[in-house]
Amino acid sequence: MTGPLTPDDVSRRAFLETVAKTGGTSFLFGSLFVNTALLRLPQDEAKASAKARRETEIGKGVIYGFVVDTTKCIGCGSCVRACRAENGVPDGYNRTWVEQYTFYPDGEVVVNSPNGGENGFAEPPAPRNEPTVVDQAPVRGFFVPKLCNHCIDTPCIQVCPVGASYKTDEGVVLVDHERCVGCAYCVQACPFGSRYLDPVKLTADKCTWCYHRVTKGLLPACVASCPAEARIFGNVSDPSSTISHILATNRVQVLKSYLGTRPRTRYIGLDSEVI
Amino acid sequence: MHHFITEGYVLPNQQHIYWTTMIVLYPYITGIVAGAFIISSLHHVFDKDELKPVSRFAMVMAFAFLLFATLPLLNHLGHPERALNIMFTPNATSAMAGFGFIYSTYLFILAVEIWLVYRTDIVHLYEHTKYPALKPVYWALALGVLDISEEAKKLDHKVMIFLASIGIPAACGLHGYVGFIFGAIKANPWWASPLMPVIFLLSAIVSGVAMVLICYLIIQWINGREIDGACVHALIETAWYFLIIDVTLELLELINHAYMANEDWAILKELVATKLFISFFVIQILLGSVLPFLAMGTVVVFKQRVPAAVRNVIGVVSGVLLLAQVGAMRWNVVMGGQMFSKSLRGFLNFQVDINGREGLIAGIVIFAMPFAVIFVFSRLLPLWGAVDTFPKAWMKKQPPERQPLRGWSKFSS
Amino acid sequence: MRHAGHFARLFALVAITVVGFFFVRSKVVPKDFGVKGHFRLSAIADEAAREPRHIGSSTCADCHDEIATAWRTGKHHTPQCENCHGPGLMHTKVIGEEPTKAYPDKMLAVSALAIKRPTGLTECKWCHLKTFERPSTLKSITNVEAHVVQHQGTFTAATKCIDCHNPHTTVVTPAKKVIQ
């Protein structure tokens, strides 16, 4: 400010001071109030988080789960074809896909998924690096089918701006194609690459665990078509179901557990190289 | 979304890039708004008198760009006709849902502020405009109220100062939330960072100040008008300070990634070193940050010893380089984040479309529209200074003041 | 407040906009939005209402009982009918229509088109072409020509697996077309 203070300057300064003071004090008290209102005792906190961690409440209705047994997958691609036919998935996009992992003696891992595995797998992929030994043959390999994980703490529903992405009571994550604006934020937010923007519908889309089939007592198309029993689907809140038995008798893993999305799709035999 | 050439293993659904030119353009446009607004607020709220010559223009420029901020987004949406759902059923956990409200609030604040600044001129022009066809336009702009008494002007001034003050946090919100949209996505290691909102905001200010600087110098040159040296110096100084903080944080982000060397660092390192080499190291850092830092730094440090002509050239050239820097930064964040797969094993090579809905031509057209608005505005109201600084250009010749007839003075009022 | 007439008009404009916004919102947002969460409740029913396109092998067996029995009792019972023949929904729909006197055979022709006729070569390769990651318990071949030659057959461009292998029973009948 240049020159001597004028009455205007004085009143303006007073005005700004008042604004700052009222703003500052209300913010301070407001935040104190909010924090105390949200304050919970340690015992309550522990109970609440235990409840949140429990994904099922036995007897409270159907809750679906999915297990992928990577030790059984033969990479035939039946699941990919069945899903595409069942759900009209557009070419170039996948609701489910199969990855081929090939390990070479020097430690290199090559991952491959030609067309998502839709036409099966013919050959192991060539190593990326220059082979140090001529005709380097792979030493280990397996297939990993992937699909939407239908997470408990979905990052996709979290970011949808219009409420087009939601979860049913059974834990299935779906998209409302009449509300979706096609911003593709959910596609970016999914850590697993399960989502895509349908080029015909111009909305987000993804695996629905064949909701239209499972609510009629059928299995998802990928589960029904798998000849190797690598995919298992069922009601995890029913202790007598096949899937509950498998979950109770196997060590299961999830993808990217460190991100905290708590996927409902579990894997048996997941290698550390599977990201 | 087209198929692109992939290297290594890219997840099937990531063999398409979903956010392209329009999503690079949107933060670029809102960024210029934030920067221009800061310049005008520095004058109105913080009384930096050196910036008075550009304060009106900066405000109009901010408004013109803000008018078109939604266009790249609407152009990108799969269903733009449902866009208002973002305001009718906003999801409280989605940063993107904040857009509708933050944008409308800020648009309102800025519109009212410009209105208050120009209200006196609007009324003057309603009464005395050279072009009678524009009279209804001015009447509408005045909302039909022609009160420009001293008390009304004082009230306007008070409200304007208040709006400029809350406009600053509003501008921070308008640009900060964009950074949060990227920074809060844990799925993408190139984006996930608490520094994102701050980096976006600071680079926004840099781009806005640079744009005001370039426009001031070029428009005054074209019209043969005098260039206020103190103003140019203040603009260069402001751009320089914000550039320093901005680049420091941008580099800090990268250095932090490199130092922590998480699981994602191997692919990010390759991304920056190969795919983003030109856009990051050459354009964003070397041409866009180091050169302007040195050039503008010379002006800031040596002040009066730099001849005016040299200073002005440095201003324009640095301004252009800064605009390139901020554009490259937006590109590196948005496109860079999609050019590697979440499998952390593969890359996507992206070629910009020339034609098409999200092509380069569409981007250039959208970016040119605010300038068209500024031009139209300049035909209605003066961009630089008030109407009475150059009445001849705008107003009819006033009839001479009536002199009382001699000898009849005691009968005139 | 005097001299604030322009502000009064501005507030009026703002008020009209806000009221207008809520009015349009009440007309546009579905009534069942937000009932059970931040989404449109009827979307669940919309998704569940889609008709399943795969009918299941037991439904195929309702009409094709002989082939189905052969398939179920043979070694090839793990892939389902629809794995090779594609989804069967349209096939059942078309068959369901009554054949007319004028077009008694048209129905049969149309129903055959509504389901995929496998090539008898591509489908087999999906599982039985050797690749490193497949378990050795799954019988595989490296390529068709080598396999045919190894079994003293004649390989031509038109050679198919089903020339010798019955896909339903897995019975091998050399050099004979085993499917009608």
Query: For residue A271, what pLDDT is reported?
Result: 94
Residues in C touching A164 (Cβ below 8 Å)? 39
Q: In angstroms, what separates the C-alpha of C64 from chain A's closest C-alpha?
A: 19
DSSP B335: T
Distance from CA of C59 to the nearest CA of A (A): 12
| pLDDT higher at B58 or C113 | B58
Rounded to whole angstroms, the maximal C-alpha distance in chain A is 89
Residues 6+ apart with CB under 8 A from B60: B114, B374, B377, B383
Identify residue B110 by its one-letter amino acid code.
L
Instruction: Encode pLDDT of A23-43 as tens digits.
Output: 666 666 666 665 555 555 555
Give me the pLDDT at residue C144, please.
86
| Chain B residues 298-337 with CB within 8 Å of chain C | none
pLDDT score of A69: 97
Nearest-neighbour CA in chain C from B147: distance (Å): 7
Choose the closest CB to A111 out of B3, B83, B343: B343
- C90 pLDDT band (50/70/90 cuts)? confident
Torsion of CA A12, A16, A18, A21, to 10 degrees: -160
Chain B residues with beta carbon closer than 8 angstroms to that of C9: 143-145
CB-CB under 8 Å, A119 with C80: no
- Closest Cα of chain B to C4: distance in Å? 7
pLDDT in tens, A52-66: 555 554 556 899 999
Which CATH number do you get for residue B309?
A: 1.20.1630.10
Cross-chain CB nearest to B18 (options A160, A181, A187): A187
Nearest to C126 among A119, A143, A228 (CB): A119
Neighbours of A91 (CB within 10 A): 10
Overall average pLDDT of the A233-251 stretch: 95
Point out the residue among C13, C14, C29 whose CB comes nearest to the CB of B89: C29
Q: What is the pLDDT of residue B131?
A: 85
How far apart are the C-alpha atoms of C49 and C30, rounded to whole Å?
A: 19
Mean pLDDT value of segment B40-69: 92
B120 part of a folded domain: yes
CA A98 → CA A55, A78, B237, B313, C125, distances in Å? 27, 10, 57, 59, 16
Residue of C52, C34, C38, B81 lying closest to A203 (CA atoms): B81
Mean pLDDT of all residues in chain A?
Answer: 86
A212·C48 Cβ contact <8 A: yes
Out of A164, A208, A221, whose CB is closest to C54?
A221
**pLDDT of C134:** 85
Write down which chains contact chain B via at least 3 CB pairs under 8 A: A, C
User: What is the distance between the alpha carbons of residues A114 and B413, in angstroms, rounded to a whole number?
Assistant: 95
DSSP state of B371: H
Per-residue pLDDT band for B232 (boundaries 50, 70, 90) equals very high
For C9, the closest chain B residue by CA position comes to B143
**Confidence grade of residue B73 (pLDDT, cut at 50, 70, 90):** very high
Q: Is the dihedral of CA B287, B290, B294, B297 positive or negative?
A: positive
pLDDT on residue C114 = 75
What confidence tens digit (pLDDT) does each residue in C11-49 have?
A: 999 999 999 999 999 999 999 999 999 999 999 999 999
Section B43-52 average pLDDT: 88
User: Which pLDDT value is given to residue A2?
Assistant: 58
**Contacts (Cβ under 8 Å, ≥6 apart) of A150:** A64, A66, A171, A172, A173, A209, A263, A264, A265
Residue B55: per-residue pLDDT: 92
Question: What is the ipTM for the molecules in this complex?
Answer: 0.89
Of the listed ranges B302-306, C97-101, C129-133, the least confidently predicted one is C97-101
Confirm or reject contact between C116 and chain A (CB < 8 A). Answer: no
Is residue A98 included in any domain, yes or no? yes
Ranking A195-204, B303-312, B329-338, B393-402 by mean pLDDT, the lowest is: B393-402
Mean pLDDT, chain C, integer:
85
Distance CA A36, CA B52 (A): 47
Question: A144 is in which domain, residue-wise?
Answer: 64-152+193-268
Give the count of domains, chain B. 1
Please give the pLDDT value at position A44: 59
What mean pLDDT do residues B360-376 have?
Answer: 95
Q: Which residues, numbered 186 to 205 in chain A, qualify as contacts with chain B under a Cβ-Cβ cut-off of 8 Å?
A: 187-197, 199, 201-203
- Other Cβ atoms less than 10 A from the Cβ of B160: the count is 20
Task: Quote the tokens at residue B15.
Answer: 């063999």
CB-CB under 8 Å, B91 with A160: yes
* Segment A62-73 mean pLDDT: 96
Residue A218 pLDDT greater than 90, yes or no: yes
Q: Is the predicted pLDDT of residue A50 greater than 50, yes or no?
A: yes
Do A82 and C82 lie within an 8 Å CB cutoff?
A: yes
Q: Is C74 on the interface with A (CB under 8 A)?
A: no
Locate C128 and state its tokens: 């039985």
Q: Which residues of A touch C125 (CB under 8 A)?
A: 120, 122
In a domain, A135, yes or no: yes
- Contact residues on chain B for A97, CB-CB shorter than 8 A: 11-12
Q: Tell me if A15 and B162 make a contact (CB, 8 A cut-off).
A: yes
Nearest residue to B18 via CA among B276, B335, B364: B335
Weakest-pLDDT range from A6-15, A168-177, A223-232, A258-267: A6-15
Q: In chain B, which residues have their Cβ closer than 8 Å to the Cβ of C24?
A: 84, 88
Nearest CA in chain C to B152: C3
Query: How large is the average pLDDT for residues C159-179?
Result: 79
Percent of chain B exceeding pLDDT 90 equals 71
* Bridge partners (DSSP) listed for residue A232: A67
Burial A130-150 (b: 16+ CB within 10 A, else e): eeeeeebebeebbbbbbbbbb
Q: What span, in angstroms and rounded, lies between the C-alpha atoms of A15 and A75?
A: 73
Domain that holds residue B52: 7-394
- Does pLDDT of B179 surpass 70? yes
Q: In this complex, do C52 and A82 lie within 8 Å of one another by their Cβ atoms?
A: no
Paired with A111 in beta bridges are A101
> Residue B358's pLDDT is what?
86
Provide the CATH number for the domain around residue A118.
Answer: 3.30.70.20
Q: What is the average pLDDT across B319-335?
A: 97
Q: What integer best gives the mean pLDDT of chain B?
A: 91
- pLDDT score for C177: 43
Higher pLDDT: C97 or B274? It is: B274
Who contacts B220 (Cβ-Cβ below 8 Å, separation ≥6)? B226, B227
Residue A46 above 60 pLDDT?
A: no
* pLDDT reading at A217 higher than 70: yes
* Assigned token pair, B297: 């730094």
Q: Give the lowest-confidence range in A218-227, B341-350, B382-391.
A: B382-391
pLDDT in tens, B401-413: 566 566 555 554 4
CB-defined contacts A:C, below 8 A: 112
> Which residues from chain C sit within 8 angstroms of residue B91, using beta carbons?
38
Indicate if the alpha-carbon torsion angle A162, A167, A172, A178 is positive or negative.
Answer: negative
Window 327-386 of B, Cβ < 8 Å to C: none
Find the mean pLDDT for residues B362-371.
95
Residue C179, pLDDT score: 44
- Per DSSP (E only), the strands in A152-264 are 165-167, 173-175, 196-197, 204-205, 231-235, 252-253
The total number of structural domains in chain A stands at 1
Residues of chain C above pLDDT 70, percent: 85
Could you tell me which residue, A268 or C157, shows the higher pLDDT? A268
Is A22 a member of any domain? no
Q: How many CB atoms lie within 10 A of CB A87?
A: 22
Domain ranges of chain C: 5-48, 52-117, 119-180
A142 touches chain C (CB under 8 A): yes
Alpha-carbon A217 to chain mean position: 24
Spatial neighbors of B222 by CB under 8 A, at least 6 apart, are none
- Among residues of chain B, what percentage have pLDDT more than 70? 94
Q: What is the pLDDT of residue B412?
A: 46
B91 vs A contacts (CB less than 8 Å): 159-163
